[in-house]
Structure 1
Amino acid sequence: MKKKIIGVIPPIITPVDENENVDEKGLRKLVRRCIDTGIHGIFVAGSNGETMALTQKERNRAIQITLDEAKEQVPVICGVMDASTRRVIENIKELEQMGGKVAVVTPVFYARHATQDETVRHFEEIARQTEIDLMIYNIPPFTGQTLTPQTIFKIAKIDKVIGYKDTTGRFPDFLQCLEHFKGTDFVLHQGATNLAAASLLLGADGYIPSMAPLYPKPFIKLFEYGQKGDIQKTKFYDHIVSLTSAIWPMAKSQTASTKYALSKLGFDHRVVQPSESITNEQMKAIDKKMAEIEKYLAENDLLN
């Protein structure tokens, strides 16, 4: 079995209108840019896509629009995270009806008592209820639980679980996973962009950078040279990716700063309430940073 999902898989934002409904035209434009610029896949309805802030109806619309626009030209992985096993299963059933092929599943959240064993049972029951592939998503700030490498190893044995996105920032844990799954078809993605270069050089199958649709070339080059083991060129492109990632903290809300930067592609930067909107001062700071980055990219023939 060949690995199905490798490379640069950005967790795309969800453009919304004044009523906080999905801006279909804007979302299609974003998906089309990802595909046309050579990005390897798309993660829709993730945390960067404000998936838990959207209504369930609008979350499903975002997924359906993305699947329709992508038309299987690239893999689309879809967030189905929720607060209980039954709710996740219902989300997956709706995803199945939309033609989705891969569901991204976190531990449950809000349930502060959740244990590692509960999360294993969570995946076991979900796998029994679906025929599509599942990916583990470890994102402790949003779930309140850090899955250990040993738990990942257990979940990976469950039928239909094909891969893992690690957004813990715990690099030694990720290294354990790289060693454990070496030579297998299990897919390992680094979710912390600042750890992408080292992870790729050491064998990761890809990474999940939210800013990749803005400046795709350096993000793609980082993956290519990381996979080849070219340390010098990997460091060069990692530097550019790091410059771009500096945009994230330039507003109080990372979502607001990310959406504002990506709105330069041609859609509104509205965030879903109660997230704080970006201020005019923050916009000016991001504009200045982007101008610096684009000058550097142009000098190195890396602007798409």
Structure 2
Amino acid sequence: MPIPAPLTGVVPPVCTPLTPDREVDVPSLIKLVDHLVDAGVDALFVLGSSSEAAYLTDAQRRLVVGTVKAHLGGRLPLLAGVIDMTTPRVLDHVASVTAAGADAVVATAPFYARTHPAEIARHYRLVAARSSVPVFAYDLPVSVHTKLDAELVLELAADGVLAGLKDSSGDLGGFRAVVTGARTRPGVAGFSVLTGSELVVDSALALGADGAVPGLANVDPHGYVRIDRLCREGDWERARAEQERLCALFGMVGVGDSGRMGSGSSALGAFKAALYLRGVISCPVTAEPQVPLSEGEVERVGKYLATAGLL
């Protein structure tokens, strides 16, 4: 399905359900897609951070894209991450996911090696030149160790290199600069600016953002769809109340014991535990080498769900 210009609304970064032996759980993935589509989301994004893309093999990545594309049957646009360290590796992923039916690709800046802004720009230009579908930039400095400069993003947008931005930087000032530039800069019409934050979707939409890509939308897609629709209707008070409920629910990402696991293991484990407790997926395991949640930590996730009215 063609990507709207701009892409708007709620675009969940779809979790990747796994079997106990860490293979892609295709039936659970299909059930998760139905869970999201039935909630009224506007597009799906596979192979992002919440999808555990960094932990999946290339074959597993292809299976995820092909499975979701086939099950969607053109009902919603499908974005696929092509996240990797270097331009040649990203180009391999672009070929793979577009062959599997992705309607757009999402790429970070190169990482591992230190990169100059001119090299980041060259990276995106090379990716766009070789991609048959629109390219979205993914600003994720916590993992990539490079912050995408607002002026660079807008320059690439004006040149037709980038179709949009998923901003997970936490830099609200830089995000606002991109939102403003997307409205006012010549040649940038149709550029989509999406927040990756679970906690400030109402604020981002108030600034003029086009939509959101929140990992917590896997767990409660209806809540994020409600925020989006309430903001578009101008009902900011009810949108704020819904956002505050989701902020409380987001507390589940901290259930993991920081003495034995990283924050990523805790957050992804919580999302999967919540989906398991809600009956959406069959197994809550995360990919190796992430440490799994304990039975007690899963119980704490259940308490967050109950408080939010989801159990």
Is 1:255 the counterpart of 2:257 in the alignment?
A: no
CA RMSD of aligned residues (A): 1.6
Q: 1:80 aligns with which of 70, 79, 82?
A: 82
Q: Show the counterpart of 1:149.
A: 150
Please report how far the alpha carbon of residue 282 of structure 1 lies from its aligned counterpart in structure 2 after TM superposition. Answer: 0.6
1:213 aligns to 2:231 (yes or no): no
CA contact (8 A) 2:9 2:212 kept: yes
Relative distance call for 1:37 and 1:25 in structure 2 (3 A) is same
- In the alignment, which residue of structure 1 is the partner of 2:292? 277
1:186 paired to 2:188: no
- Equivalenced residue count is 295
Specify which of 48, 54, 57 is matched with residue 55 of structure 1: 57
1:4 CA drift (Å) = 4.8
Q: Does 1:121 align with 2:122?
A: yes
Q: Which amino acid in the other structure matches residue 96 of structure 1?
A: T
Counterparts of 2:100 and 2:94 in 1: how far apart (Å)? 10
* Structure 1 residue 69 corresponds to structure 2 residue 71: yes
The one of 204, 215, 233 equivalent to 1:199 is 204
What is the alpha-carbon distance in structure 2 between the residues aligned to residue 84 and residue 2 of structure 1? 28
Q: CA deviation at 1:73?
A: 0.6
Q: Any conservation in 2 of the 1:77–1:104 contact (CA below 8 Å)?
A: yes
Sequence identity of aligned pairs in percent?
A: 24
Once the 2 structures are TM-superposed, how far is the Cα of residue 259 of structure 1 from its aligned partner?
1.0
Q: Distance in 1 between matches of 2:61 and 2:289?
A: 17
Letter of the 1:80 counterpart: V
Q: 2:103 aligns with which of 96, 101, 104?
A: 101
Q: What per-residue deviation string (whole Å, max 9, x for no partner) do you get for residues 155-180 of structure 1?
A: 21343521101000000111111111
Counterpart among 10, 13, 18 of residue 12 in structure 2: 10
**What amino acid maps onto 1:161 in structure 2?**
L
- Conserved? CA contact 2:227–2:243, under 8 Å: yes
CA deviation digits over 1:114-172, x for unaligned, max 9? 12111100011111112211001000011110111111112213435211010000001
Query: Secondary structure at 2:36's aligned position in 1?
Result: helix
In the other structure, the counterpart of 2:301 is: 286
Give the letter aligned to residue 289 of structure 2.
Answer: P
Could you tell me how far 1:225 is from its partner in structure 2? 1.6
Counterpart CA distance in 1 for 2:69 and 2:75 is 10
Distance in structure 1 (CA, Å) of the matches to 2:158 and 2:127:
14
Distance 2:231 2:205 in 1: 5
Q: Distance in 2 between matches of 1:4 and 1:232?
A: 26
Offset from partner CA, 1:257-293 (integer Å, 9 cap, x none): 1111112223211111110100111111111121111
Report if aligned partners of 2:65, 2:101 keep a CA contact under 8 Å in 1. Answer: no
Unpaired runs of 5+ residues, structure 2, are none
Structure 2 CA distance, aligned partners of 1:23 and 1:56?
Answer: 16
Letter in 1 for 2:284: H
CA positional deviation for 1:238: 0.8
Rounded to whole Å, the distance in 1 between the matches of 2:304 and 2:87 is: 43
- Which runs of 5 or more structure 1 residues have no equivalent in the other structure? 298-302
Q: Which amino acid aligns with 1:143?
A: V
AA of the residue aligned to 2:288: Q
Most deviating of 150-159 and 96-105 = 150-159
